[in-house]
Chain A
Amino acid sequence: MSEVRAVRNLRLCSKDCLCLYVCPTGATDTETGQIDFTKCIGCGACSKACPSGAISMVPYKYPKAQVKDELVVDRLKRIINSKVEQEQIAHYIKDNSTDEKEKLLAKVLMRANRLISEDLYREAGYMLPQNKNTKDFLNELLEKDSTNKETIEKLLTLIDFHE
């Protein structure tokens, strides 16, 4: 099997269709607009031919993520704790306030704080879903709470984790 596959950025695609002409397997011609990964042999012809730079070649296996210093992770997690709490308070205000202005501000704060926490997690050792940290997190979650057993187990099988 090839080490890479082609993916199409639909926002950049200008429908010049050169990828359809050069693809040796027909993988680039689909009803969803995305490339058929099962047909793609990773030759890269479509990516080279695309005049809009809409097709990139991505690896099946990603290299290991950068190891993060424990002290840095600790500091970032403290900010996450605070931001998540702010998101939750804003959520409470949005659900309980009767004032439209307050609700709107709460909604904005919910979204912004969530985005900040997500970004912080990326730098706190969870940049790549394939990272071992993700695997450990999912296993701990499985022990703690069996309600989502199926979903978590599915993720553990689907993701190609680094050891």
Chain B
Amino acid sequence: MKKYICPICGYVYDEAKEGVKFDDLPDDWKCPLCGAPKNLFKAESVEVIVSNEPEEELREMNYGEISALCSSLARGCEKQYLEEEASLFTKLANYYNSKAAVKGDFKELIEKVNKDLDLNYKKAREVASEKEDRGALRVITWGEKVSMILKTLLDTDIPEDKKIYVCDICGFVYVGDEKPEICPVCKVPSFKLLEVERGA
């Protein structure tokens, strides 16, 4: 008995629970959560190899990180209807974003997202489980799923005739004509899936 995982939304097909072997499912079977085709599913790898090489100390925050923290706090203020505070944090976020710059190409992006999936998320999950921090496990689960989608996007061509939506809560990316009713990763209703305009 094996588990098969949807690389798009992270849905797990558990043969033990379903009672039907994954191979015996029809070829046109699709992910019940996000509609990904059967052939994209991958068997769960059993071995979790997390290297234990010593790591460098965390460095000081750079401008990009300062910007991300400020935009996160702006959202926090918005949720509490603290408009002035939210706009001040947004101002800071924009300022530090304009100062942040890292050169790079798609090859580096693929390397980095692979490292996140192979190492960073696994290590984080290990520690968060040990400390029983379910909030951290939540953000790790969502982020890992979205990272899988970003990896898939980096590997494929976006069809010209399809629309692209990004979930404004978790970052899930949907490519297609009609967006799903809820985000398959964080389950927020579809009005939070925002279209990314082409051009500009």
Contacts and interface: CB of A to CB of B under 8 A. Distances in A.
B32 interface: no
B68 A90 contact: no
B179 interface: no
Interface of A: 7, 11, 34, 37, 58, 62, 66, 68-69, 71-72, 74-93, 100-102, 104-105, 107-109, 111-123, 126-129, 134, 137, 141, 147-148, 151-152, 154-155, 158-159
Given A74-B58, A112-B150, A123-B139, A82 B108 contact: no
A101 B68 contact: no
B120 interface: yes
B92 A108 contact: no
A69 B72 contact: no
B128 interface: yes
Given A108-B196, A123-B139, 15 more contacts: A11-B191, A78-B124, A81-B58, A88-B64, A91-B101, A104-B198, A111-B166, A112-B149, A113-B171, A115-B167, A122-B72, A151-B92, A155-B85, A158-B84, A158-B88
Contact of A100 (B92, B146, B198): B198
Contacts of B131: 69, 71-72
Interface in B167-182: 167-173
Given A116-B143, A129-B85, A147-B95, A108 B153 contact: yes
10 residue pairs, one from A and one from B, having the closest CB atoms = A89-B104, A88-B102, A115-B171, A118-B72, A112-B171, A75-B124, A117-B68, A84-B64, A123-B139, A121-B72
A69 B128 CA distance: 9
Nearest to A102: B106
B12 interface: no
A122 B58 contact: no
Interface of B: 55, 58-59, 62, 64-66, 68-69, 71-73, 75-77, 80-82, 84-85, 88-89, 91-92, 95, 100-106, 108-109, 112-113, 115-116, 120-121, 123-124, 127-128, 131, 133, 135-136, 138-140, 142-143, 146-147, 149-150, 153-154, 157-158, 164, 166-173, 191, 196, 198-199
Nearest to B89: A155
A106 B52 CA distance: 33
B112 A82 contact: yes
Contact of A122 (B55, B115, B139, B153): B139
Contacts of A77: 58
Given A123-B138, A154-B88, A84 B68 contact: yes
A92 to B, nearest CB: 5
Given A85-B102, A116-B143, A137-B69, A148 B124 contact: no
Contacts of A123: 133, 135-136, 138-139
Contacts of A122: 72, 76, 139
